[in-house]
């Protein structure tokens, strides 16, 4: 597995070693020892899975402390544009946005440390997303940032008229109203 640093500190891409032949391929999608060597002592406690159709936008979500979550995201089937926003106010990249294509073809994974909002939009007909988290979900600590916050200027690639967004996500607050969280 290869670790690729991004321009945002602690946000990294994991590229697996893939063994391909005429029968198909084999790869390790997760190895606790290797992951901890690359990322430090991460203790993932839960695996989540999401199936969505083209144009579904989920996010930008995060959990407030003490239930903040680090995540390891991958797209098993299809293709998504995965988007994160740095919410760590002491970070030099506070408010920065990073987008990456995760797909069943490139098999990349994105490690998102605590202190980030996360979302994605499905670019293929369907997409199956799997992600590990290092803290349990708490409804009382569930929060997010408005997907089309003008201060973030996120290019979701798909025309906004074609997006499918939950009413919860349509009513999230902009970044400016999500201060002093991390």
Residues identified as active-site? 61, 131
Beta strand ranges found along 104-175 (DSSP E) = 109-112, 116-122, 126-133, 142-144, 164-165
What does the buried/exposed string (b/e) look like for 34-63 if buried means 16 or more CB atoms within 10 Å of the residue's CB? ebeeebeebebeeeeebebebbbbbbbbbb
Helix (H, G, I), strand (E, B) or coil at 171: coil
Distances (CA, A) of 3 to 17, 31, 50, 69: 11, 13, 25, 20
Per the omega criterion (within 30 degrees of 0), is the bond before 66 cis?
yes
Evaluate whether 80 touches 101 at the Cβ level (below 8 Å).
Answer: yes
Give the Cα separation of 174 and 150 in Å (integer): 8
């Amino acid at each position: 597995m290869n670790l690729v640093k991004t321009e945002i500190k602690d946000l990294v891409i994991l590229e697996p070693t893939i063994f391909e032949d005429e029968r198909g391929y084999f790869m390790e999608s997760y190895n606790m020892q290797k992951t901890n060597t690359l990322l430090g002592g991460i203790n993932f406690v839960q695996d989540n899975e999401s199936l969505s159709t083209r144009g579904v936008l989920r996010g930008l979500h995060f959990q407030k402390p003490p239930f903040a979550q680090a995540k390891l995201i991958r797209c098993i089937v299809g293709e998504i544009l995965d988007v994160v926003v740095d919410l760590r106010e002491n970070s030099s990249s506070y408010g920065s946005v990073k987008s990456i294509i995760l797909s069943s073809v490139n098999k990349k994974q994105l490690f998102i440390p605590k202190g980030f909002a996360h979302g994605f939009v499905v670019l293929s007909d369907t997409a199956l997303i799997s992600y590990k988290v290092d803290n349990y979900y708490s409804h009382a600590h569930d929060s997010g940032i408005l997907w089309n916050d003008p201060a973030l200027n996120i290019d979701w690639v798909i025309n906004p008229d074609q997006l499918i967004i939950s009413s919860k996500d349509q009513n999230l607050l902009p970044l400016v109203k999500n201060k002093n969280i991390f």
